[in-house]
Amino acid sequence: MRRREETCREAERRVEFEIKPFDVSHKAQILGLSLRAWAPVFSGLRPAVPEYVYEAFYPHGWRARQRSDIEAFLDTEGDRVWVAVKERAVLGWVGIRLHPEDRMGEIVFLAVDPGHQRHGIGKALLDFALERMRAAGMSIVMVETGDDPGHASARMAYERSGFERWPVARYFREL
């Protein structure tokens, strides 16, 4: 009975939306929702890494760096970006890269507006991106996220979608 109740609650939380190709008119909404979605991520990241490393990556703050990275991606690789929209509101987005030399797709960005998280939007965007990669002839897909407390929900989401962790160690030293 409990599983049936969970399924009913999940269905109640679902939001009707469409996944559409990125259009420049979506840019401001993408930037806004991404910064809102990632605020708790970066508040969890900062205390988990050495201050000199954080300052090296985000000398003008994480918002400035993320805004710049997102804008550059949208401006140069917008043909590999899709948005989840309801009416004219952008609820989330995904951006991918294809690496044909390795037959590997890469999830570069995935974000859902905090007010619409846990409604199946992120999963739908991820599944949509995976299908686009399959159609492009890719045989594997990669996504990179942090191992800090701020990225815990991202790791859980990727693992629920069948991603397996690649063991890697990245070290820093102040000069």
Whether residue 50 lies inside any domain: the answer is: yes
Q: Is residue 171 part of a domain?
A: no
Domain that holds residue 66: 17-160
Is residue 91 domain-resident?
Answer: yes
Q: Give the whole-angstrom CA distance, residue 49 versus residue 51.
A: 6
Give the three-class secondary structure for 61. Answer: coil
In a domain, 83, yes or no: yes
User: Does some domain include residue 167?
Assistant: no
CB 83 within 8 A of CB 30: yes
Q: Is residue 175 part of a domain?
A: no
> Mean pLDDT by 10-residue block, N- to C-terminus, for the chain (175 residues)?
44 77 98 96 90 95 97 98 96 98 97 93 96 97 88 88 86 86
Q: What is the pLDDT of residue 78?
A: 96
pTM of the model: 0.86
The SS3 call for residue 106 is strand
CATH number of 23's domain = 3.40.630.30
* Residue 13: predicted pLDDT: 58
The answer to the question of residue 67 being in a domain is yes
Domain count, the chain: 1
Q: Do the domain assignments include residue 148?
A: yes
Query: Which spans in the chain are helix H?
Result: 2-13, 27-45, 51-57, 62-77, 121-135, 152-160
pLDDT the model gives residue 150: 81
